[in-house]
Chains A and B, each alone.
Chain A
């Protein structure tokens, strides 16, 4: 499509409303995952697990929203037989909510690990590096939801760069933890816990990138999964 993708303007206004409803629900779902990360970040900043209560409740809400949005997508496929941009919106959305749900699961894992660490007086030396990683992942998630809201490919590519930074930060966290474990074998158990949390954060970044790829498919009709970053950049420039 050479011209801008639009989602309104159907002869059936009811269809316009159904598509609007789905898109805003996805953003609401994403904001719940953001809230999970935010609670974890507050806990790390304040060195207190208080803010983490309620994360599991948020995750249950995220799960319910995934089912609700999927049901709405199924209804649209059955009732409207969408084509072209509308079809791509439904497919991309249905895939993206799965990624958001998994991101929510990962966020819950991170929160519980941080809570455990704070409650068990784990040495702050082990998890202090996690704060930067949480901040970066939260930024990436926020930018990804923004990309979905605006259906914009340039920012999708920009987010892929943010994810590269997340991967680099993840690498630094792991390197540091390995160094600590080498010098202090008593810390291995706690360090492994932090490592799993870092791994979960890195996975959230990957889910964000899946969503960005879905947006590129939706806007351009191009499937860029399993394509090198440089090729995606060239393809979209």
Chain B
């Protein structure tokens, strides 16, 4: 039996929003994540960085059981949301994904109107009682994502007519419409231009007042700008977790240093 890897830094917190212990992920026989212990703080932004194939997206997808959709994928270990085991059989996965929402790399609005994209989730989860309340919710979510002014006169036009940056903010508006507690973002800006990226980053900052956000990013500058804590993954192992300010000025682990200074990629 090989010795268990010890993450350096501060992976654990007091009273976290999500608690992960001894998490391992396998794709058939191949192990992709090795014994990860990590706490995710309430209303904090944590970013996951690391080279391609290091397991950061796989890890993110464990947090709302998106890996369940992959047949050969098996997740081991303890993953808790507010102390509740998310892999418990009694957990309704649809409910879990409403509490732990997700925004993907490529904006993926439904082929429906702008309005319907935001209203859809709230309607199926029965979050509003009537049309007025639903209208209010749609406006509120679009306001929070800074889209309202841009789209208020064309709410019933197809969402696919929006620019890439607007579509991504719409996807974030759609995610927050069901009132999640945690938002997972998998490279949310990698398909966006620098201006749209700056808008989304500003949005992440504002949303962090009320939501817990985990973001996977290939842009180290983005991790440095948006997150309070940074987790570095390498070959499926969680190498280091520290305050972002420390990781980018004086990381503890040699591998973290080599990655963020562009020596391994």
Contacts and interface: CB of A to CB of B under 8 A. Distances in A.
Interface of A: 1-3, 9-12, 15, 80-88, 221
Contacts of B220: 81, 83
A2 B224 CA distance: 22
B260 A84 contact: yes
A84 B261 contact: yes
Given A83-B248, A84-B248, A88-B249, A3 B254 contact: yes
Contacts of A83: 220, 224, 248-249, 260-261
B34 to A, nearest CB: 21
A10 B252 contact: no
A80 B263 CA distance: 13
Contacts of B254: 1-3
A84 B250 contact: yes
Given A1-B252, A3-B254, A221-B249, A85 B261 contact: yes
A1 B250 CA distance: 7
Contacts of A88: 249-250
Contact of A11 (B221, B224, B260, B262): B262
Contacts, number: 47
A87 B262 contact: no
A88 B248 CA distance: 10
A9 B262 CA distance: 9
Contacts of B107: none
Interface size class of B (residues with CB under 8 A): 10 to 19
A172 to B, nearest CB: 41
8 contacts: A81-B221, A82-B261, A83-B260, A84-B256, A84-B260, A85-B257, A87-B248, A88-B250
Given A1-B257, A88-B250, A9 B221 contact: no
Given A10-B262, A84-B257, 7 more contacts: A1-B257, A3-B254, A9-B258, A9-B263, A10-B261, A83-B249, A84-B247
Contacts of B126: none
A146 B220 CA distance: 34
A82 B262 CA distance: 9
Contacts of A15: 262
Nearest to A81: B221
B25 to A, nearest CB: 28
A86 B261 contact: yes
B263 A2 contact: no
Give the 10 A-B residue pairs with the shortest CB-CB distance, closest first.
A221-B250, A83-B260, A3-B254, A9-B263, A83-B248, A86-B261, A84-B257, A10-B262, A84-B261, A11-B262
A13 to B, nearest CB: 11
Nearest to A87: B249
Interface in B208-265: 220-221, 224, 247-252, 254, 256-258, 260-265
